[in-house]
Amino acid sequence: MEAHRVLVVGAGGLGSPVLRALAKSGAAHITVIDDDLVDESNLHRQTLYGREDVGRSKIERAAANLRELAPELSVEPVDGRFVPSTALELLKGHSLVVEGADNLATKFLVADAAHLGAVPAVQAGAIRWGGWAFCALPDSACLRCLFEDIPRDRIETCAEAGVVGPVVGVLGGLEAAFAIRLLRGERPAGELWHYDALKGSLRKTFVRRRSDCPLCTGEIKDLRMERYTAACAA
């Protein structure tokens, strides 16, 4: 995997296990983007950080902690947000993108940008006691085939509804497994995993392309800001 470059959007609950696994699995380069600070209340699920990191730039501490885990790893920290105006440029030169955002606007933006940029995308979502992890290739079903569009009605995010720490650990681990499989040349196209911690269940299904998917059919050709929301934060 030494020639591969991975873009990770979000260095929080989902991003932490992804970054740890990739750093220790031989990836040559990781670009990680986030604009938040390390918060003590999040340490139970953002396992890349310790108490000494509280109040400091998450992206700076993520880069430092990753270099300590894997001194040979090339890390490029980007202090900012994954937004429409820079999304495609950020994707350039990367073998895949792993999304660990905590809002649906960014999840759909990552899916759209990855498809338009012909880059495989690994994505996940978690809330309370469960969640999902999904892998999309440029020629497979995408996130819009699965969820269609950003909901018009307000829905709770994990920050508002809460999420159990081990749940994001499991889902981030599934994302890391997807990423490593892709870097090894496998094609887990359209593979979807559902995790329910209360039931202790993990279920795999496959998502098929929808004939009316605006992304797969080419209706979506660009990343206009109005297609998403003002909440495009990693």
Angle subtended at Cα 164 by Cα 163 and Cα 166, rounded to the nearest 5 degrees = 130
Separation between Cα atoms, residue 101 and residue 87, nearest integer Å: 14
Q: Which of 142, 145, 158, 232 is flagged as catalytic?
A: 158
How many other CB atoms sit within 10 Å of the CB of residue 116? 18
Are 81 and 33 within 8 A, CB to CB?
Answer: yes
How many other CB atoms sit within 10 Å of the CB of residue 229? 14
Separation between Cα atoms, residue 19 and residue 26, nearest integer Å: 11
Active site residue 213: no
Separation between Cα atoms, residue 88 and residue 44, nearest integer Å: 33
Structure tokens at 157: 């995010």
First to last CA, the chain: 26
Q: Which residues are catalytic?
A: 158
